Amino acid sequence: MTAIIINVKSHPNFFSSWNYNIIIGGGSALVLYNFGGWIGYIGAVIYTFYLTSIGPIIWNSIKGYNITGAFFLGYFFNILLGLASVWIVAYAFVPGGPLLRERTDIVLGTSYFSILAGVLNYNLRREEFTKIKFSSCKIFKQTLTIITILLALSISIFIKRYPSEPFKPYNEESQSFTAGIWCVHFGLDNDMWSSETRMRDLIRDAEIDIIGLLESDTQRLIGGNRDFTQTIAEDLGMYVDYGPGPNKHTWGAALLSKFPIIESTHHLLPSPVGELAPAIHATLDIYGELVDVVVFHSGQEEDVEDRRLQSLGIQEIMGNSSRPLILLSYLVTEPLQGNYNTYVSEKSRVYDIDNTDWDRWCEYILFRDLRKVAYARISRSTITDTELQIAKFKLLNEDEKNDDDLEFYYGNHFVNEDEIDENLRMPQLFRGDGVRGHRYHVFDEPRYFAQHKWQRYNEQEQEQQQQEEHQEEEEENGQNEEGDEY
């Protein structure tokens, strides 16, 4: 708004000059494209100001033309640029995709030079337009007033949205935490309605403290430039890491956490053929201990070599970490086969939350140096086409860290829910028919793991007793058959 008023009130030669358009417009576009972090952000702010400031010039330049034709061509060209902005990411799924693979420079450059064409049109027809009298004093007062109002509004919104107290995990008393992985398909449900409110409700009801959201990048034209990750984080009181940004040409990966994110590194895994695979490697402060969380989206099934290289990349990231670690991932592999054995290996030092769960292909939760408590799969309803997987963990105490009984901590010693402390149990809300179309499915209930070694021995005794009973039944059946034959 400030830029528009400055333009209207100032001499038209200023904003239509080539020095302004090339230095301010072109320079900020180059900074936006070539730099990340705060420098790239500053470039984006200046470029936004530039685009707004030349608005009146562009509007003036179409005077005398066929308005219908001008608007038709303008919107048509805008649609082409919108499609091009999709092609640079979706190159693996669209015709001619490789031509625009990761070519943000072509889209941004075409947009910028089209603007210069509009400025040129204005300069060629300058004499046809009425010049506005320049008054620097009046401009300064009006600009200062508008900036003051906007600043006051921004501060009031900031104060309203700023958290008044530290974020708290759902199960602080038990010192446990729940981690989840979910592919949310850009916050659009199966009927193409915005789904962030329903996503928020499920994350809250499942009491998830740490969640990886995949295909979360909606901050582009095709996604409506929405920011549903921040919306969910603010509503639930969570920290958020957006992962690799839209300028990295991925579908996005985000991390939401009730625990402070101490540091974070973003990765683009090797993808010589297919779509880029984003990953987040973050370190969280969980109850005073540093724990690494990796969020990762693997490539498509068709791109075999891509997925092999990506598995090696994630293996290296996990193997180089010396802290307790959780991998929240979309792996595109069958359990115990193929690249699974790269992710779960001696080099990565991570283990599957439940390697007996054979009915998986995409989502996996892997971990190390933590005590697993429970594992569950919750149906998606119509929010997306992918279920929500969650797992509950506890930190190891000093004795457990020095215990070399890996089979107990990483094995599958299942116990009944009534053998688990109530404050460690999964929410009861999703049992049976569940709520709002979300329920425990596949197993129809959470799977719980032994928290004490004596529970493992009880489990072995129960298994042995069941085997003996089964053997006795077979012997009885055999004797009955012999009697019938006799």
- 297 catalytic, yes or no? yes
Which of the following is catalytic: 249, 267, 297, 438?
297
Distance CA 363, CA 279 (A): 14
CB 365 within 8 A of CB 391: yes
User: Which two structure tokens, joined as six digits, stand for 270?
Assistant: 């090797």
User: Which two structure tokens, joined as six digits, stand for 456?
Assistant: 């493992």
CB 199 within 8 A of CB 184: yes
CB 240 within 8 A of CB 229: yes
CB 211 within 8 A of CB 243: no
Helix (H) or strand (E) holding 233: helix 228-236
Q: Please state whether beta strands 277-286 and 289-297 pair in parallel, antiparallel, or not at all (unpaired).
A: antiparallel
Distance CA 87, CA 104 (A): 10
Short-list 442, 449, 395, CA closest to 425: 449
Q: Where does 332-374 have alpha helices with state H? A: 340-343
Helix (H) or strand (E) holding 248: none
| Active site (catalytic) residues | 297
